[in-house]
Every structure is written in structure tokens, then in C-alpha cells.
Amino acid sequence: MQDNDDERFSGSKLATRAVRAGQVRTTEGEHAEPIFLTSSYVFNSAADAAARFSGEQAGNIYTRFTNPTVRTFEERLAAMEEGECCVATATGMSAILACCMGLLAAGDHVVAGRDLFGSTIILFNNILTKFGLTFTYVDSADLTQWEDAIQANTKMLFLETPSNPLCNVSDIRAVAKIAHDNSALLVVDNTYCTPVLQQPLKLGADVVVHSSTKYIDGQGRTMGGAVVGDKKHVGEDVFGFLRSAGPSLSPFNAWVQLKGLETLSIRMKAHSQYALEMAGWLETHPSVERVYYPDLPSHPQHDLAQHQQNSAGGVIAFLVQGGQDQAWSVIDSTELFSITANLGDAKSTITHPATTTHGRLTVEQREEMGVLDNLLRISIGLEDVDDLKKDLQRGLDRI
Ligand SMILES: *Cc1c(COP(=O)(O)O)cnc(C)c1O
């Protein structure tokens, strides 16, 4: 756990904080951040050890609790989200788990957007319900549904915007108001946008969670996650769970990902620019029925997306003319796109949500969400966008 107290960059812009915040140079004078691969730390004396353990003396004890490399990552991300404090976790899912375990208790109720990341829904429905938590799902873009789902025991609202896979955009400020009017917390999963494109805490959210496995790593190498928020909820409650339960971020992964933060600004700009170009091109192709991308004027929440996000990121969903056969044939005609459900990589990816990420849902659930058999989701990487268009055109022209 690390407080955002690197005052040196508090007046700087995000891209500067992404490169500079959190670094503490050792006596070796190294330019790049070192990796502290150590599980424990030594004390000068028995009395020092006792003082460290009792909390009287600040400092490292054990890497499950704190580690200098992990701390640099946490402080840098906290500075970028403009949160008081950040706790890094082993994966994105353990960030969401730590958030629920740290902030909720048996008997509490959570309202969540219906179109969350698939494993988040499984964690909520199959695991956390065993411990006395209950969940209600709503159409995340419909404020009336959020309001109507609130119960006397609602303690948390959980939102992902833009959503997966259809890129629905929800009004963070308005959902935060509903949460606060009802003494609940708003947690936003900001994995898709990263702080470069959207800063939920500045819009009123209480806590932000990340899967840093995606854009923050950016090259599909390591797993990681983070929770960002204030000192009470994140620094005490979430960290309290993490230091005892143990899904902490490894120092090596923290190092890869803190270097990832240094290039995040330019990467997110490039992903967004290429994706917008691709989305506009897809809209003109006769084999494409509909494109879902928040920066297109045809998107139902285009205006909201324009003022809530700096740009729309790398993920596009689109319907092809026909059904599953046509969708699969577009996938199988690609040579460049990787056929994988992952996203946020320098390598572009293509997936058929109805038979992969959303395959465990019933046909009715999928139809209600709009995850139809002719839907494809692509994550635009950093290859040349003309090559990517050619790669999709091959399959689309055949429909
Ligand atoms: C991938 C992802 C997660 C889970 O993260 P892991 O690092 O895979 O555990 C959570 N939320 C969103 C939006 C994701 O894309």
C-alpha cells in the first residue's frame, strides 16, 4: 500500500507523473527503477524488529505487505488517477475481490452493471453469494434502473464504462450521486480506459479498480491489478484484507508494469486514433450491420463519452451481416489479428463473444445484453491500421 505523497509532481500533467512519480533513487544513483526481488527485510536489532512489527516504526517487514518496487508502481498509478492511495494486487480479479472483501460484510447488497467482465459476474454470483452478499444487475446506461435497484442494505455500486463488449457508456458523475445519496460507495473498473482516457475519482467515484494485465502492461506479458481510492477505504480496509489474504503483486510484475505506465499516454492515444479510423471504415463496409464505438457520432452515448473520456480507447464491437457462420468466417480469414479474448495489447485481437467470453450465459441473457451471434469484438493494437483493415476486409468482402 502506498500513499500518493510524491509532492514533487503534484503540479505536473499526467504524462509527466506517468514517467516520474514514485521513484526513490537509492545510494547507487541508478537512473531506471531497480527491482527489489526480496521476500523479507532485515532489522538492525531485536528492538528495531519489535518496533517494526508493532507499527511504532515505519518500514518494510515482508513483501506480502510492502515492497519498494511495488510501492513505486502504486504511487505512480495513484498519482495518475489522482487518488490518495493505491494498493497493487496479483491480478485484476484479486483487485475486485480485495475491494469486496475489504469494503463489504455479510448481509450487504451490491448493484452492478449487467455487462461486466465475465469473471467479475462469476466471482459475484458463484463465490461471494456464498458469504452472504447479494447482487442486483442493471442496464448500466439507464440511471433509473440504478436508482430502482437500491435497497436499504445497498453498500456498493459497481460499474464498468465503457462496457464489454458493446462499449455502453455510463454517466459516472450521475451514478456516483445515486451511490452517495444512498450512503453507498461507487467502484469503477477503469481497465478499458486507464487514467489516460478517464479519471473516475475526479468524477465522483470512491474507488477505482484495474486489471493492469491489459493496457498498463500493454504487451501481454504479466498479470496484475490495483485498487485506488482514499486512505480509509483503500489504505486501511482493502490493504487490511490484502496483507492477510495475500494476493499481492510480485515485484517483478510491478517493475514491468511501472515501465508500462511510462509509455501509457502515447500508447492510449495511438490505440484510440487507430480504433477510430478502423471504426469509421467498418461503418462504410456493406457487410457490416452496425458498429459500436463511443467516438462515432452513431454511438447512443456519444455526447456523454465526448465529455467523460479523452478518447474512446482500442476496443470496437460490430455486427456483420448474417449469423455465427459469417462472424466466424471473418475471424478465420484473418492473418494478422490474434484469435484471443485478451485485449489491451500491442497485438490486435479478434474474438466472437457469444461463443467465448459470454458463452456460459443463456441465449436469452445474451440477447438481452445485445451479445448476438453475428457480433465480433476487436482490440486494436499498434500495428499499421491499413494492414489491419486489409486483414478484416478479406473476410468481410466474402460475406
Ligand atoms: C481482464 C479484466 C479483468 C480481470 O483482470 P485479470 O488481470 O485477468 O484478473 C477485470 N476487469 C476487466 C474490465 C478486464 O478486462
Q: Which of 229, 260, 291 is the last residue of a domain?
A: 260
Residue 295 is assigned to a structural domain of this protein: yes
Using the mean position of ligand 1's atoms as its centre, give its distance from the Cα of residue 83 in Å: 20
Give the CA diameter of the chain: 75
What's the mean pLDDT in 33-58?
95
Q: Looking at the structure, do residues 137 and 68 belong to the same domain, yes or no?
A: yes
Render pLDDT for 188-217 as a digit per residue (tens, 0 to 9): 999 999 999 999 999 999 999 999 999 999
pLDDT band at 34 (very low <50, low <70, confident <90, very high): very high
Other Cβ atoms closer than 10 A to 221: 12
| CA 84 – CA 184 distance, rounded (Å) | 19
Q: CA-to-CA distance for 217 and 266, rounded, in angstroms?
A: 14
Do 248 and 281 belong together in one domain? no
Work out the burial of residue 336: count CB atoms within 10 Å of its CB; fewer than 13 is exposed, 13-18 middle, 19 or more buried. middle
**pLDDT band of 23, cuts 50, 70, 90:** very high
Pocket test residue of 114, 213, 343, 349 for ligand 1, highest count of atoms within 8 A of CB: 213
What is the number of residues in the chain?
399
The verdict on residue 4 lying in a domain is no
Residues 103 and 18 in one domain: yes
Q: Give the mutation target among 209, 211, 222, 356 for probing the ligand 1 site: most ligand atoms within 8 A of CB.
A: 211
81-98 confidence digits (pLDDT tens): 999 999 999 999 999 999
Phi, psi angle pair for 156, to nearest 5°: -150, 140
Distance 363 CA to ligand 1 centre (A): 24
Q: Quick check: 173 and 151 in contact, CB under 8 A?
A: no
* 62: nearest Cα among 74, 51, 53, 72: 53
Same domain, 244 and 290: no
DSSP secondary structure, 33-89, as one string: PPP---SB---SSHHHHHHHHHTSS-S-SBTTT--HHHHHHHHHHHHHHT-SEEEEE
Q: Are residues 126 and 269 in the same domain?
A: no
Cβ(301)–Cβ(169) below 8 Å: yes
User: Which CATH number do you get for residue 231?
Assistant: 3.40.640.10
Judge whether 242 and 98 are in contact, CB under 8 Å: yes
Q: Do 128 and 203 lie in a common domain?
A: yes
Residue whose CA is at the smallest distance from ligand 1 atom 6: 92
The reply to whether 250 falls in a domain is yes
Is the same domain home to 107 and 235? yes
Q: Does residue 189's CB lie within 6 angstroms of at least one atom of ligand 1? A: yes
Q: Which of 260, 280, 296 is the last residue of a domain?
A: 260
Residue 1 in any domain: the answer is: no
| Domain endpoint, select from 192, 226, 260 | 260
Q: Are residues 285 and 389 in the same domain?
A: yes
- Pinpoint the alpha helices (H) of the chain: 14-20, 46-54, 68-81, 92-103, 118-122, 143-149, 172-181, 194-197, 239-245, 251-284, 302-308, 324-332, 363-369, 385-398
Domain harbouring 319, CATH code: 3.90.1150.10
Residue 164's pLDDT band, with cuts at 50, 70 and 90, is confident
Residue 7 located in a structural domain = no
The mean pLDDT value of the chain amounts to: 96
The answer, yes or no, to whether any atom of ligand 1 lies below 6 A from the CB of 223, is: yes
Q: Do 180 and 284 sit in the same domain of this protein? A: no
DSSP state of 201: G
CA 193, 195, 197, 201 torsion: positive or negative?
Answer: positive
Same domain, 252 and 385: no
SS3 165: coil
Kindly state whether residues 250 and 274 are assigned to the same domain. Answer: no
Residue 328 above 90 pLDDT?
Answer: yes
Give the residue numbers spanning the domain of 335: 265-396
Q: Which residue's alpha carbon is at the smallest distance from atom 8 of ligand 1?
A: 92
- Check whether residue 275 and residue 369 sit in a common domain: yes
Determine the distance separating the centroid of ligand 1 and the alpha carbon of 399, expressed in angstroms: 33
